[in-house]
């Protein structure tokens, strides 16, 4: 899709500019007095959590934002492969795939040896993330991602909409009540920033999640401390429409000049818009970028110098900002003491920039913030709905803090590579070496894509002794999707796209070489166990009046190409819903050309079960006959 030709206009580009009106906001209503989950902040972290919780009609969620309405411009623009996979879990990847710039190449520019004040392309390479996911790394306005999440919330069973114009004033956690799951230990007060005279509203909640960004008031109220380096370098960022003779304007480019610093150029959605990150000045200790008193003209002038001899004629600036780089991570991600030695149930959490801050150049801000709450959302839902023991909530901090620490370290390295910096020798500076950047991207490609994020072993991530049964599904990492053919209609289907953000667990049964229609086969025996044994987790945790896949959704994937659905156990094409209709979409066979068994290293002789968490991460891998271990796995945290 091409758009922004005659100027930047925010909004949904599927609607022509001339026909597009600003979205109308829901009328302002008072905050509810009591909710299950209070979310502070409508950035990617807050909205992804709200989007997830909105799907549960029995959970009362409230999301509050200090700004007067949804974001229109700026901030993050990189949507990693993993974030795209999460958006698919919300059924919303298609819009982004259509609208976004898809990143396939990187170009590297350095001073021309013959004319050192001019830059020259050294080389172009394919993006190192290609092939790590069925999605490519994409670039699109953060505001569009927000719009899509907001739409999903509004269209959910709870029709959830944010309460805008509310700024958090105070937050109290009553420590006497935190271990009583039915209590409302959180009391928060908000000021209506649009009201004259100012109006204060109070709300009580069972849980609160601070998604209120780098200057988080929730974090401060919980006395959580950010640890790490402060900034020493100012950068300018601008989204612009420009006329230029720079040939790689539609390729992500790392540009290093001889004496004027570096530019990182990111082509944007719509075919014309471009983002430039421009290196500005080194900051003194405790100096803030805002003290430099620079404006967009200074950023443009610096970009023109760095990109010489190419013309950079900026026609329109859609958004710009100046920021400093610093890497910090919170000492705790919830209200329990560090390390939680007493095993307390956390009731207040921080997520996203509220608990990790770093430079924007790695494109990690949004792409770490949104998965933070994708990790937390299903856990809150499972505890609130009485499906899981509340100790599940302790795993948010232990799983996501490790990722944030890795992020901070990676960003420290990346920031050092993509900028001029003081050297150990006095009065000299170390300049960017684009070859080092290329090596860094290749080395960290899985982390940058978000696809190699791996959670620590715990009661929801275990069983590594059976990892050899499916070497391409790494326990702790997200389910790496691959295609198989749906048995009943021959349609190719990405199995990863069956993992929706609906709070359900999934078991993929990868069959062995025995015919699964044979009653003596391992698959048949396993299916019988799941369907009818008193120790089956499916039987134990699914309410009598609910559909058989309401809590644990089971799929069969077979090597045999010539199966007929009517020969397979009923459980694999179960009757569901008020009419008892059959579900014909649970059985698959491998494709002949790209066979999922080969692609994901699944043992063809043994087969296996792959158990997938509601956030798409692989919880465990078990042999087909490991029914006791399967029951024991779920018994560790599920409530009958």
CA distances from 448 to 15, 145, 236, 403, 406 (A): 32, 19, 22, 12, 11
Q: Which is nearer to ligand FAD, 318 or 495 (by Cβ)? A: 318
Give min distance, CB of 583 to ligand FAD, in A. 36
Give min distance, CB of 180 to ligand FAD, in A. 27
Give min distance, CB of 458 to ligand FAD, in A. 24
197 upstream amide cis, omega within 30 of 0: yes
Give min distance, CB of 177 to ligand FAD, in A. 23
Measure the CA–CA gap between 543 and 566, rounded to whole angstroms. 27
Give min distance, CB of 42 to ligand FAD, in A. 5
Q: Which is nearer to ligand FAD, 49 or 507 (by Cβ)? A: 49
Contacts 24+ apart (CB under 8 A), 158-161: 158/54, 158/55, 158/56, 158/57, 158/59, 158/61, 159/54, 160/50, 160/53, 160/54, 160/61, 160/63, 161/26
Measure the CA–CA gap between 560 and 590, rounded to whole angstroms. 8
Measure the CA–CA gap between 173 and 505, rounded to whole angstroms. 32
Q: Which is nearer to ligand FAD, 277 or 588 (by Cβ)? A: 277
Q: Which is nearer to ligand FAD, 267 or 365 (by Cβ)? A: 365
- Of 504, 549, 545, nearest to 385 by C-alpha is 504
Q: Which is nearer to ligand FAD, 322 or 621 (by Cβ)? A: 322
Q: Which is nearer to ligand FAD, 42 or 381 (by Cβ)? A: 42
Give min distance, CB of 362 to ligand FAD, in A. 8
Q: Are the CB atoms for 541 and 633 separated by under 8 Å?
A: no
Q: Which is nearer to ligand FAD, 217 or 611 (by Cβ)? A: 217
Sites of contact with ligand FAD (CB under 6 A): 40-46, 64-67, 75-76, 78, 142, 166-168, 211-213, 217, 237, 321, 323, 352-354, 360, 363, 365-366, 369
Measure the CA–CA gap between 280 and 498, rounded to whole angstroms. 46
Q: Are the CB atoms for 319 and 261 separated by under 8 Å?
A: no
Q: Which is nearer to ligand FAD, 222 or 390 (by Cβ)? A: 222
Measure the CA–CA gap between 287 and 270, rounded to whole angstroms. 37
Q: What is the DSSP letter of 284?
A: P
Measure the CA–CA gap between 78 and 638, rounded to whole angstroms. 37
Q: What is the DSSP letter of 225?
A: -
Alpha helices in 155-251 (DSSP H): 217-221
Q: Which is nearer to ligand FAD, 111 or 352 (by Cβ)? A: 352
- Of 84, 54, 146, 47, nearest to 502 by C-alpha is 54
Q: Which is nearer to ligand FAD, 321 or 340 (by Cβ)? A: 321
Q: Are the CB atoms for 318 and 240 separated by under 8 Å?
A: yes
Give min distance, CB of 100 to ligand FAD, in A. 14
Give min distance, CB of 414 to ligand FAD, in A. 12
Give min distance, CB of 12 to ligand FAD, in A. 20
Give min distance, CB of 89 to ligand FAD, in A. 18
């Amino acid at each position: 899709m091409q758009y922004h030709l005659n100027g930047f206009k925010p909004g949904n580009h599927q609607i022509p500019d001339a026909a597009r009106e600003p979205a109308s906001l829901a009328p302002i209503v008072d905050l509810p007095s009591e909710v299950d989950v209070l979310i502070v902040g409508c950035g990617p972290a807050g909205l992804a959590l709200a989007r997830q919780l909105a799907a549960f009609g029995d959970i009362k969620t409230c999301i509050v934002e200090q700004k007067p309405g949804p974001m229109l411009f700026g901030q993050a623009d990189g949507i990693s492969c993993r974030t795209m996979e999460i958006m698919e879990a919300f059924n919303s990847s298609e819009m982004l795939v259509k609208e976004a710039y898809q990143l396939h190449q990187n170009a590297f520019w350095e001073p021309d040896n013959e004319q050192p004040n001019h830059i020259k392309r050294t080389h172009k390479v394919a993006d190192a993330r290609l092939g790590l996911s069925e999605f490519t790394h994409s670039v699109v306005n953060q505001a569009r991602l927000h719009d899509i999440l907001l739409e999903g919330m509004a269209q959910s069973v709870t029709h959830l909409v944010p309460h805008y114009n509310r700024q958090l004033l105070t937050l109290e956690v009553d420590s006497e009540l935190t271990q009583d799951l039915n209590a409302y230990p959180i009391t928060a007060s908000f000021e209506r920033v649009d009201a004259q005279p100012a109006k204060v509203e109070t709300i009580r909640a069972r849980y609160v999640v601070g998604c209120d960004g780098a200057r988080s008031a929730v974090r401060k109220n919980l006395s959580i401390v950010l640890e790490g380096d402060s900034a020493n370098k100012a950068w300018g960022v601008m989204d612009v429409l420009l006329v230029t003779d720079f040939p790689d304007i539609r390729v992500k480019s790392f540009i290093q000049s001889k004496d004027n610093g570096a530019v990182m150029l990111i082509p944007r959605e719509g075919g014309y818009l471009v983002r430039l990150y421009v290196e500005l000045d080194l900051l003194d200790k405790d100096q803030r970028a805002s003290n430099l008193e620079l404006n967009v003209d200074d950023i443009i002038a610096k970009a023109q110098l760095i990109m010489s001899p190419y013309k950079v004629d900026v026609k329109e600036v859609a958004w710009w900002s100046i920021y400093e780089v610093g890497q910090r991570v919170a000492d705790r991600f919830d209200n329990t003491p560090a390390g939680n030695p007493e095993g307390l149930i956390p009731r207040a959490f921080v997520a996203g920039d509220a608990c990790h801050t770093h430079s924007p150049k790695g494109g990690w801000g949004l792409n770490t913030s949104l998965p933070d709450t994708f990790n937390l959302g299903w856990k809150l839902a499972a505890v609130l709905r009485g499906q899981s023991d509340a100790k599940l909530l302790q795993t948010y901090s232990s799983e996501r803090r490790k990722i944030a620490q890795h992020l901070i370290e990676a960003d420290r390295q990346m920031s050092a590579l993509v900028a001029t910096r003081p050297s150990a020798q006095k009065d000299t500076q170390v300049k960017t070496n684009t070859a080092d950047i290329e090596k860094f991207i290749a080395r960290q490609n899985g982390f940058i894509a978000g696809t190699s994020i791996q959670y620590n072993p715990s009661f929801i991530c275990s069983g590594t002794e059976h990892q050899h049964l499916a070497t391409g599904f790494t326990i702790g990492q997200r389910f790496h999707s691959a295609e198989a053919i749906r048995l009943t209609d021959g349609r190719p289907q990405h199995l990863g796209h069956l993992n929706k953000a609906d709070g359900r667990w999934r078991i993929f049964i990868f069959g062995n070489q025995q015919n699964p229609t044979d009653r003596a086969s391992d698959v048949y025996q396993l299916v019988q166990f799941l369907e009818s044994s008193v120790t089956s987790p499916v039987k134990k945790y699914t309410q009598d009046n609910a559909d058989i896949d309401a809590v644990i959704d089971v799929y069969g994937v077979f090597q045999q190409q010539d199966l007929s659905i009517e020969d397979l156990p009923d459980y694999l094409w179960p009757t569901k819903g008020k009419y008892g209709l059959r579900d014909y979409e649970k059985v698959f066979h491998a494709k002949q050309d790209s066979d999922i068994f080969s692609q994901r290293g699944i043992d063809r002789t043994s087969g296996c079960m792959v158990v997938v968490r509601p956030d798409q991460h692989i919880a465990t891998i078990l042999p087909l006959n490991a029914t006791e271990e399967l029951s024991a796995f779920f018994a560790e945290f599920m409530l009958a």
